[in-house]
Amino acid sequence: MVLNRKVLKFEIDLDFVLIAITTSLKDYRICYYINKCLNFNFTRVDDLSLDTSINGAPLLFSLYRYSWETTETDFYFIGNKGSDGYLVPEMREADYFIMIKNYIDDTDLENMISALNKMPEIVAAVKIDPKKIKSRENLLF
């Protein structure tokens, strides 16, 4: 008896840039400083809800959004420490992430990371390759 089996493979589309941020400040405080430094306007949106099927209650992470209308680039400021755990558990040293969706020029990105690292409120801002994150599906929303 021969089984005719097809294996379905799919690649998760990780079409975004990720910056990990380490700071001791609360989300609203660091967003205020980032807004001033980068001339952004991060505004709070509904929390990112992650269904983990642990206790039945979803994990909640603070979420802020800002857009560049001209290039349709979306910026998301996401808390890594949530109501009951981490968004990206293997990166516990990161307090927040800035996710950049759609297009950003490499020079703009480098200037942004450089400006973030010059802020006294931020310990470190580092570009992360989403493909190297084990729990990357948590970042798909």
Query: pLDDT of 24-35, one tens digit each?
Result: 999 999 999 999
- Enumerate the β-bridge partners of residue 22: 124
Query: Can you give the residue ranges of every domain in the chain?
Result: 17-134
Between CA 31 and CA 12 the distance in angstroms is 29
Please, what is the Cα angle at 10 between 7 and 14, to 5 degrees? 165
Judge contact between 99 and 78, C-beta under 8 A: yes
Q: Is 93 or 4 the better-scoring residue by pLDDT?
A: 93
Predicted confidence (pLDDT) at residue 87 exceeds the cutoff of 70: yes
Domain at 17-134, CATH from 3.30.70, 1.10.10, 2.40.320, 2.40.160? 3.30.70
pTM assigned to the model:
0.86
Radius of gyration of the chain (CA): 17
The per-residue pLDDT for range 45-70, each reduced to its tens digit, is 999 998 865 567 788 999 999 999 88
